[in-house]
Amino acid sequence: MLLNRRFKHCPSCGGPVLYQIPPDDNRERAVCTVCSEIHYQNPINVVGTLPVWGEQVLLCRRNIEPRYGLWTLPAGFLELGESTASGACRETDEEAGAQIELLNLYCVLNVVKIGQVHMYYRARLLSDQFSPGPETIEARLFREDEIPWDELAFHTVKETLSCYFSDRRAGRDYPLHCTDIA
């Protein structure tokens, strides 16, 4: 199995599960040996923003693991009951205390190895004042030449920033970028 997210007991009844290919399916699933419930495990969605203030982008220094102390874009796990856009806005507020105008969906990055899909929206900052939440040591603005490239927490953040600065230098209209992160 690609991911190490196997579980041993049925979330519905607590019975033991077996991993097998159910009838009319084509991949291994967790099937309860008691209630026969089939449990599907799907990728986790991470949503966030690429907040811009003039020539600068907002980065947050992580106050949590993984990657404590490294820089990231404001992002986190999408919650049940929210859209990707509302989740990205919530994460930006929680992590940076930043007020934004949400723009277009900018990057969709498939991190297949760990079962995640990261989605970043471009955003325009409405103020250069921030109030970082408990998950953030500090939030600050960086010009392209100031980005701490060797201190970025995740490959998806580096890819998103690289696309953004490349598009900006080329005068492109910030098209949607979709890529797989190995």
Summarised one tens digit per residue, pLDDT across range 3-51 is 556 889 999 999 999 999 999 999 999 999 999 999 999 999 999 999 9
Percent of the chain with pLDDT over 70: 97
CA 167 from centroid of its chain's CA atoms: 21
Q: Three-state DSSP class for 28? A: coil
Residue 169 is encoded by which pair of tokens? 């230098």
Residue 6 confidence (pLDDT):
81
The answer on pLDDT for 141 being more than 70 is yes
Query: Domain map of the chain by residue range?
Result: 1-41, 44-180
Instruction: Name residues whose C-beta falls within 8 Å of residue 79's C-beta, 6 or more positions apart in sequence.
Output: 87, 90
The answer on pLDDT for 57 being more than 90 is yes
The full DSSP string for 51-85 is EEETTEEEEEEESSSSSTT-EE-SEEEPPTT--HH
Cβ-based neighbour number of residue 174 at 10 Å: 14
Residue 100 pairs in a beta bridge with 125
The predicted model scores a pTM of 0.91
Residue 161: name the closest of 84, 79, 106, 91 by CA. Answer: 106
Residue type at 114?
I
Question: What CATH architecture does domain 44-180 belong to?
Answer: Alpha-Beta Complex (3.90)
Contact 137/63 with Cβ under 8 angstroms?
A: yes
Residue 1 confidence (pLDDT):
35
Mean pLDDT of the chain: 96
CATH number corresponding to 1-41: 2.20.70.10
